């Protein structure tokens, strides 16, 4: 059995993930920009190219088969299990699971959790050291 993959989320709360909406299933492709005008959480399983911007309390869940190429993903919570090329900005918390592969900058303003096995190449920008 594969023990390095598929750990459950431990920083991102279940309440953030339970209301997520399947916006992009596994073999779907979306190219463009996505913006939320309400507080909602989304889940991506397919290929996405473009920007994503969510409102308050929103979680972007990039599932393990997802492949996101982006200029910027902005949300309160970001849970990455898949591949991301681009910049991630979590206004609250970001969590990278063992299957996460991120190439680009990761910016978070409160908490970050990186599981063993996750791969990041890029800059990590956290909150001010003094605050």
Partner 1 sequence: MPTSERALQFPQGAPNAQPALVVVSGTTVAKNVPAAPQVHPAPTECVLPSGLSFKGEARFPCGVQIEGAFDGKVTAASDQTITVAKGGRVKGEIKATNVHVEGGVDGQIIADGGLARFGATAKFTGEVTYARIGIEEGADIEASMKKLTPKVSI
Where is 17: in which H helix or E strand? helix 14-18
Site size for partner 1, by CB under 8 A? 42
Instruction: Looking at residues 16 to 35 of the shown chain, list those that interact with partner 1 (rule: CB under 8 A).
Output: 17-35
Does residue 61 belong to the site contacting partner 1 (CB under 8 A)? yes
Neighbouring-strand partners of residue 48: 30, 68
Tell me whether residue 35 or residue 103 sits nearer to partner 1 (CB atom).
35
**Distance of closest approach, residue 62 Cβ to partner 1, in angstroms:** 10
Sign of the dihedral defined by the CA atoms of residues 89, 70, 99, 40, in that order: positive
Does residue 71 belong to the site contacting partner 1 (CB under 8 A)? no
**Distance of closest approach, residue 105 Cβ to partner 1, in angstroms:** 23
Cβ contact 84:70 at 8 Å? yes
Does residue 63 belong to the site contacting partner 1 (CB under 8 A)? yes
Pick the piece of the chain touching partner 1 (CB under 8 A) from 3-11, 86-94, 111-119, 120-128: 3-11
CA distance 82 to 68: 8
Pick the piece of the chain touching partner 1 (CB under 8 A) from 11-19, 83-91, 101-109, 114-122: 11-19
Does residue 43 belong to the site contacting partner 1 (CB under 8 A)? yes
Count CB neighbours of 110 within 10 A: 14
Alpha carbon 130 to chain centroid, angstroms: 26
Nearest alpha-carbon partner for 84 in 39, 37, 118: 118
Contact residues toward partner 1 (CB under 8 A) are 1, 3, 5-9, 12-14, 17-40, 42-43, 45, 50, 61, 63-64, 81
């Amino acid at each position: 059995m594969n023990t390095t993959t598929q750990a459950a989320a431990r920083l991102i709360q279940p309440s953030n993930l339970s209301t997520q909406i399947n916006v992009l299933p596994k073999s779907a492709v979306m190219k463009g920009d996505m913006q939320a005008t309400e507080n909602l959480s989304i889940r991506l399983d397919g290929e996405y190219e473009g920007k994503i911007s969510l409102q308050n309390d929103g979680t972007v869940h990039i599932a393990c088969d997802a492949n996101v190429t982006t200029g910027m993903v902005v949300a309160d919570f970001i849970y990455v299990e898949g591949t991301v090329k681009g910049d991630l900005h979590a206004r609250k918390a970001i969590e990278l699971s063992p299957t996460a592969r991120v190439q680009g900058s990761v910016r978070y303003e409160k908490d970050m959790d990186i599981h063993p096995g996750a791969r990041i190449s890029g800059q990590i920008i956290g909150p001010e050291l003094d605050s």
